Chains A and B, each alone.
Chain A
Amino acid sequence: MHDAPSAKELIEAVKAFIDKTAAPQLTGHAAFHARVASNALATVLRELEIRPAAEAEEKARLEALLGTTGDSANALNAQLCEAIRAGQMDLSTEGLLPHLKSTTIAQLSVDQPGYSGLRSAAR
């Protein structure tokens, strides 16, 4: 399969169309939704860049934390949730909070990089 244009280029083109052509012609509710749409595409662009490495790191941390291997970060997260729910892990568990913090910082770097809580976490 080719990638010319790449997914990134296509999304950038659509985002530029919304920002420069469509949004300026819209008013009221539609203009608001155009801004939200443009922001959603910006999220996808950040995700394309950040997710592969961040998720691989997350998976490695989860395997170390749980002492097991898994097919995906998703499956390991379900296991982690079960362990927390069952009371086998809590705030006093070595490495749990730092892992969750690293994962959430990566997630926010995709979702809402300007969020104030992200700055507080970095301090």
Chain B
Amino acid sequence: MGNGIEIEKPLTAWAEAHFGAGSRLEGLKRLSGGASQETWAFDVAAPDITHVLILRRAPGGVAAARSSEAVSLATEAALLGATSRAGVRVPEVLHVSAPGTPLGEAFVMRRVAGETLGRKILRDDEYKTARTRLTRDCGEALAGIHAIPTAGLVDLPRSLGEDQITKYEAIYRGFGMPRPVLELAFAWLKANAPAPAAPVLVHGDFRLGNLIVDGNGLAAVLDWELAHIGDPREDIAWVCVNSWRFGHSEKRVGGFGDLPEMLDAYAAAGGARFTPAEIDWWEILGSLKWGVMCMIMYSAYKTGADPSVERAAIGRRVSENEIDLINLFEGLGRHA
């Protein structure tokens, strides 16, 4: 964990140039979470007003070779700009810093007030009104994201459902740990693949945890690292995966909403008209992917790359995804 000394000077210099001489940096603090990028919270006390900000930065300011999936910080900043102009609620980007500068590869955005913790959003009275609006808000936000013209978006990987099956099956086979439920899911997905929809900009990790929610509903969509060109149904299904319902399984959309309501809001906001049954295949793919991702995290322990008890224990979460897959298989045909 960095102590912030190396970024204090370049951040102060930027703040003075952007907000005027005499602007002071206050409360610089590294936030937890986000292993692949540094995330810092800080304030700038400008002569007239205090600005509440976030710095996203490559570790040490230098972009490491990262997983082929994650987009660069510059692309993430460009996506925030494009989605904001399209009317999707995202944090406003104020500055993009290039590799090789004193600050390094990074960008600064405004910090949006609200909550990201799924359990609190689903439980606390403070979000009671928000919970009644969140389903529509999510449908509208996804319709907005999926409508953004992809021609101007540089550097985005393309990954359709079929590509993801190929990718995650190769990873699963590489572990040499056969699990019949996952095997059945791979075989079923291949045998029942839907016709691809027209490719769109897909957020790639749209779920509670990556959404800022305030008292009025959805305040901002965060974490664009996994954005790609893909199938719109991937995003719609990912927020439905039971792992992100935080115990509130009866509400298919994130533990807070019903899928028909989100699909209606999605279509009313200009998105394609999908039925709940069309989302089943993608939710099965989502649960399968998260199961394989838990195996990936456990393998970091097994190979010695990360000896923490947390990485070891996460291997005992794969069975959560297996029961979700079984519940989904049993429910097939139940959705109109």
Contact = CB atoms under 8 A, between A and B. Distances in A.
Interface of A: 32-33, 36-37, 39-40, 43, 77-78, 80-81, 84-85, 87, 90-91, 96-97, 100-101, 103-105, 107-108, 110-112, 115-121
Nearest to A43: B316
Contact of B326 (A39, A80, A101, A112): A101
A33 B309 contact: yes
A43 B320 CA distance: 14
A28 B179 CA distance: 35
A116 B245 contact: yes
A35 B181 CA distance: 29
A84 B172 CA distance: 15
Given A77-B178, A100-B326, A101-B326, 20 more contacts: A32-B310, A33-B309, A40-B313, A78-B178, A80-B183, A81-B178, A81-B179, A81-B183, A84-B184, A104-B319, A104-B322, A105-B323, A115-B320, A117-B242, A117-B320, A117-B323, A117-B327, A118-B323, A119-B249, A121-B327
A59 B181 CA distance: 16
B187 A90 contact: yes
Given A97-B330, A100-B181, A115 B313 contact: no
B309 A77 contact: no
B329 A97 contact: yes
Contact of A84 (B187, B242, B326): B187
Nearest to A112: B320
25 contacts: A32-B310, A33-B308, A39-B313, A40-B313, A43-B316, A77-B178, A77-B179, A77-B180, A84-B184, A90-B184, A91-B188, A96-B184, A97-B329, A100-B180, A100-B326, A101-B323, A107-B322, A108-B323, A110-B316, A112-B319, A116-B245, A118-B323, A119-B249, A121-B326, A121-B327
A33 B312 CA distance: 11
Interface in B161-218: 178-181, 183-184, 186-188, 191
A39 B316 CA distance: 11
Contacts of B317: 111-112
A105 B323 CA distance: 7
Nearest to A76: B180
Given A33-B310, A39-B313, A104-B181, A85 B320 contact: no
A39 B179 CA distance: 24
